[in-house]
């Protein structure tokens, strides 16, 4: 098992200057960094890779960020194209930073949640399938996997549970599509987080660790022992990434509705969560 930290805990838009955080991440005990890429041009990939390696870290993954103008089921063609071009940029970033994993809700803009008729839902599903087929073909040529993350009902109406992610993978039919599960979202949507892990099985390629209140793993109500046992049963030995938030990063706090501190600061949260995850999963 390898343990990573998502940069959104410390920066809304991760830039070259934020690479100065890497030694602190290493000192805290992390193996890798999941970089949330806002857009192409924010990072000098060569410089960031050099700093990662000098710190004794690797890039675990690139985390996708999806606003209204990046939406595979977008209401305007330019939104669909925006999503496709952004994902290609992120796949290129994966190659440059020597990771083979691009994670996140690749199917839709985050925050788009509405009750739509069945025929419209079917149309949107078909749009996403077509878009992911194009992206998956590009990813296959680069050797990069796309892990689909189900989100809770307040952040999307499209993909809320692991079973839907598996269905989407089947409909697209690409070996590059995998599953990304997050304990925060599973705690809201799944009947059993452990069963979701078991259902994902060999398709599971990323596990985000966060509490029910988005705080440090191990400080809330998530059924960690059951999740850990399920992880062991499927033989998962990939990345577990802390993705929790604090009010310190205002843009993320607003987007994820983080209205109060659960820890002193971001690094305190990260250290506490990592210590718990290592005890639980190792």
Cβ-based neighbour number of residue 36 at 10 Å: 23
CA distances for 57 relative to 3, 33, 54, 82, 98, angstroms: 11, 7, 8, 31, 11
pLDDT computed for residue 107 by the predictor? 98
The domain limits of the chain are: 2-281
Cβ-based neighbour number of residue 29 at 10 Å: 13
- Cβ atoms of 130 and 150 closer than 8 Å: no
User: Fold for domain 2-281?
Assistant: TIM Barrel (3.20.20)
pLDDT computed for residue 255 by the predictor? 86
Give the mean pLDDT per block of 10 residues along the chain (282 residues).
Answer: 97 95 98 97 97 98 97 97 98 98 98 96 98 98 98 98 98 98 98 98 98 97 98 98 91 87 94 98 91
């Amino acid at each position: 098992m390898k343990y990573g930290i998502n940069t959104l805990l410390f920066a809304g838009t991760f830039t070259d200057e934020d690479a100065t955080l890497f030694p602190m991440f290493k000192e805290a005990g992390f193996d890798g960094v999941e970089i949330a890429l806002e857009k192409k041009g924010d990072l000098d990939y060569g410089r960031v890779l050099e700093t990662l390696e000098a710190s004794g870290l690797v890039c675990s993954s690139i985390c996708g960020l999806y606003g209204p103008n990046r939406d595979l089921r977008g209401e305007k063609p330019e939104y669909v194209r925006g999503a496709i071009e952004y994902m290609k940029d992120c796949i290129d970033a994966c190659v440059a930073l020597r990771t083979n994993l691009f994670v996140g809700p690749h199917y839709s803009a985050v925050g788009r949640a509405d009750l739509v008729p069945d025929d419209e839902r079917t149309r949107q599903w078909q749009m996403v399938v077509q878009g992911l087929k194009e992206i998956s073909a590009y990813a296959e040529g680069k050797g990069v996997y796309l892990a689909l993350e189900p989100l809770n009902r307040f952040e999307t109406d499209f993909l809320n549970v692991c079973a839907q992610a598996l269905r989407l993978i089947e409909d697209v039919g690409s070996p590059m599509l995998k599953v990304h599960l997050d304990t925060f979202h599973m705690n809201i949507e799944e009947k059993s987080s452990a069963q979701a892990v078991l259902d994902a099985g060999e398709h599971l390629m990323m596990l985000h660790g966060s509490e029910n209140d988005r705080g440090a793993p191990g400080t809330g109500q998530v059924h960690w022992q059951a999740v850990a046992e399920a992880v062991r049963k499927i033989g998962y030995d990939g990345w577990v990434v802390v993705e929790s938030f604090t009010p310190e990063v205002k843009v993320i706090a607003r987007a994820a509705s983080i209205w109060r501190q659960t820890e002193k600061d971001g690094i305190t949260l990260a250290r506490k969560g990592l210590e718990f995850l290592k005890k639980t999963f190792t």
